[in-house]
Chain A
Amino acid sequence: MAKTHVTTTINGDLKEFLCEPGDTLLQVLRDELGLTGTKEGCGSGDCGACSVLINDRLVCSCLVLGVETNGDVIETVEGIGDSDKLHVIQEKFLEHAALQCGICTPGLVVSTKALLEENPNPTEEEARYYLAGNLCRCTGYDKIIKAVLDAAETMRESA
């Protein structure tokens, strides 16, 4: 099958890749570009583990084709922070022990970032509503919500 040449900006860097028409952005990120922070939980848009931002919009990368992203600005969890310099959201997830196996965490970090950009001061209910597309099988969510609200507060204070 003929491969398509795609140019995007990922985490601030210009990235070019070749992909087949059927390849999802998730496949491209993980298998072509080695950005394995984005996870696959279902491959059908139902779990949020593959959440990324495309032009500041929160999407499931398993539902986006790689070829569709030509010219787009993409942000993955790798662009939000890394182990040398964690983002406040990541720090708060650690502080509140809001992760167990961690597979849902990158998606939740990305979704939380999108939430707080749209709404820096969410109520608990608004946060739950916004994050409803991110499944976690381990934690029971209580610590996640606490971490998200704490991150919001900290980010507001330092803004």
Chain B
Amino acid sequence: MPSNTLFAYAGLSHASHATIKSLDLDAVRSAHGVVSVITADDIPGLKDIGPVIPGDPLITKSSVEFYGQVLFAVAATSQSDARRAARLARVEYDLLPADLDIEAGRKANSYVSPMHCQQKGNVDFAIDNAPFSLEGKFASGGQEQMYLEGQVSIAIPEENGNMLIHTSSQNPSEGQKLVAKVLGIDYSKVTVQVRRMGGAFGGKETHANQWACLAAVFAQKTKRPVRLRLARADDFSSTGKRHPFESQYRVGFDKEGRIRGLDVDLYGGCGMSADLSNAIVDRAMFHIDNCYYLPAVRVRGYRVKTHTVSNTAFRGFGGPQGILAIENIIEQIATATGIDPLKVRERNFYTDEGNRNRTHYAQTIEQHIIEPLVTRLTETSDYYERRKDIRKFNVDNDVLKRGISLTPVKFGISFTMQHMNQAGALLHIYTDGSIQLNHGGTEMGQGLYTKVAQIVAREFSVDLSRITCTATRTDKVPNTSPTAASSGSDLNGMAARDAATKLKKRLCDFAEKHFSTPRSSISFNNGQIIVGKEKYPFEDIIKLAYHHRVSLSATGYYRTPKIYYDRETATGRPFFYFAYGAAVAETIIDTLSGEYRILRVDICQDVGQSLNPAIDIGQIEGGFVQGMGWLTTEELKWEQTGRLASHGPATYKIPAVGDTPSEFNVELFPNSPNTEATIFHSKAVGEPPLVLGISAWTAIRDAIASIAEYRVSPILDAPATPEQVLAACDHLRSSRAL
């Protein structure tokens, strides 16, 4: 970093809902090392950086809506000086009543945007006339992304008022747009570069923007480079998390456990603003069926406002919350009917038989992968044998109990906002035959750069080492979508392939003319270009083409076909395809302390024709463990003031190396190419495996249920922390005593 770099930090609110009576920044201004201080009044352009609709002030002016909201910012000559100074403000608040959770928000009738409803068939009739029915409530907690590299941005002023931003962001184009608007300059004057991120998981989709914008305001003002990096505790408090959800349901079913009708209200806890909450609650609704055919269904998605940090994208984007809601219902049905939960699941799978293949939003399920996949996993994991052993173990043991469970996932792939399903790429071939690749996707550890480079290498039939993938930059590929929704390789891989195809065509056209040979005799093979009987090194033809004035640079573009969704009728085909998977988890719990371990996990995941098995398996393992963390040890706790109490890895427990199963078998579902024309018939893999973490939660539930011989449903919300597990055990013990 240049030696004149300034370090910026944000001054954060210490109230969750209040009006600001006074903000005295004198001590901040006069603190050691301070060069500049800004408030809302110092923002030259746009003051609200809400990504979809307004509601997210860059710096709040007169009101506070969550504990940790930015009140002002300071730039100093060192990071420590900036942090110290940011704590010196004197703020007087007029406190207002704060709605800190979903229940409070619902009571206050407070929503960030209107409810959306999807409906199919006559639900009330179906439930009322079903042989059995159940109703209940269920809650799942939020989750901190806890990317190991925190939020960070550097703004570097350039000539003519231009601005270069280095940032840890999944969405460089949105960062560019917002920085430009905040500074009041054209988009074309701002370049955003993202080399790579140290993890993101959705937490850097929109919540990276604020820090880039603040750094940019200082950089414009001071004409010096400015770096803003949040300390971990502030990163926890001031950036959004996975939405907590509550649901209320009524379900009708037959004695076989087949669902006749489902009526469910989903309440997403959005925090203080809309951010991406509309799409997130929608995705929860789209996934309320998971793999199950629902003959009649009504799902309402409410977007509850609370005075907490605005919740945002987190791997799965509402999908896992919707799926967890139905998986809990399936468990309830299994207990009520006394049928093995796996059987209940299988009986409800989508199938072409009897036309049980249309979702509640009228998309037809075309590829029926879940049934054979689950059958395979049941065998490879030895599910029934182990279940028998576990039942026996539980009869023989009073304190320790074991549980096992299989849960499936069907995950819809595509952004549900149609226009976002597009991507661009830029490809240069240099005269030494080396290839430079750039595309709109960002690298956050998911291996996207490698996958897309592999695609290009395969198109030219050259070695991967020939290809350099350069940092994602808004001046190379413009107007890109965030790297999110598991779409990275689907979209950018296709765009890069398009660019490669164009260049190949130019080279073939040239060779055809130059060597006077038919097109059919020209091919690319293993670093060579074959023309008739002659073989030329790739770079020789490139040089020749250059000398004959052939352009060796091309852009590529892709937009996903077929998809649409009509909000008015709540029907359409929002997803290009679905990715499937299933997991079997086995656990042992101590019914006197509530502690537990996950002993073994078996996963079978459908990734179509894998682009890179090592990367895919890494995504599956990491996704599973993250999902398991969400539902077991990761618990967000707020104090009564609205201050986040679990604000670092000491108080917020993500899985550590000792928490993960020592037997962890992961298989890619074999011979299952995507039937849609995706890149080399692969499937997305980023988000779906996270949902498989549900099997850890249901396995714990299964172990608890053994206390009352599986006849009573444990009362267990998520996360199933040891405290929750102990309470559920106590409850079952007392129900047994009755």
Contacts and interface: CB of A to CB of B under 8 A. Distances in A.
Interface string A92-131: 0000010111111000000000000000000011001101
B199 interface: yes
Interface in B617-656: 617-618, 621-626, 648-650, 654-656
B435 interface: no
Contacts of B655: 140-141
Given A44-B648, A44-B650, A129 B622 contact: no
A22 interface: yes
Contacts of B615: 97
B261 to A, nearest CB: 38
A101 B654 contact: no
A86 interface: no
Contact of B447 (A20, A47, A100): A100
Contact of A131 (B445, B614, B654, B657): B657
Contacts of A22: 80
Contacts, number: 121
Interface string A123-159: 0110011011111111111111100000000000000
A49 interface: yes
Contacts of B444: 101
Interface centre among A1, A125, A131, A142 (most CB of B within 10 A): A142
Contact of B149 (A1, A39, A45): A39
Of the four ranges (under 10, 10 to 19, 20 to 34, 35 or more), the interface on chain B belongs to 35 or more
B249 interface: no
B231 interface: yes
B658 A47 contact: no
B662 interface: yes
A139 B618 contact: yes
A140 B148 contact: no
A132 B145 CA distance: 20
A138 B622 contact: yes
A42 B623 CA distance: 22
Contacts of A135: 148, 649, 654, 656
B93 interface: no
A101 B618 contact: no
A140 B650 contact: no
Interface string A5-49: 000000000000000101100010001000000011111111101
B149 A132 contact: no
Q: Which 8 residue pairs spanning A and B have beta carbons closest together? A: A101-B445, A100-B445, A103-B198, A140-B625, A140-B621, A46-B649, A103-B148, A97-B614
Interface of B: 32, 79-80, 145-150, 196-199, 201, 231-233, 444-447, 614-615, 617-618, 621-626, 648-650, 654-658, 660, 662, 664
28 contacts: A27-B79, A27-B80, A31-B79, A39-B149, A41-B148, A41-B232, A44-B232, A44-B233, A46-B648, A97-B614, A100-B445, A101-B147, A101-B196, A132-B657, A134-B657, A135-B148, A137-B147, A137-B626, A137-B654, A140-B621, A140-B622, A140-B623, A140-B626, A140-B655, A141-B621, A141-B655, A142-B660, A143-B618
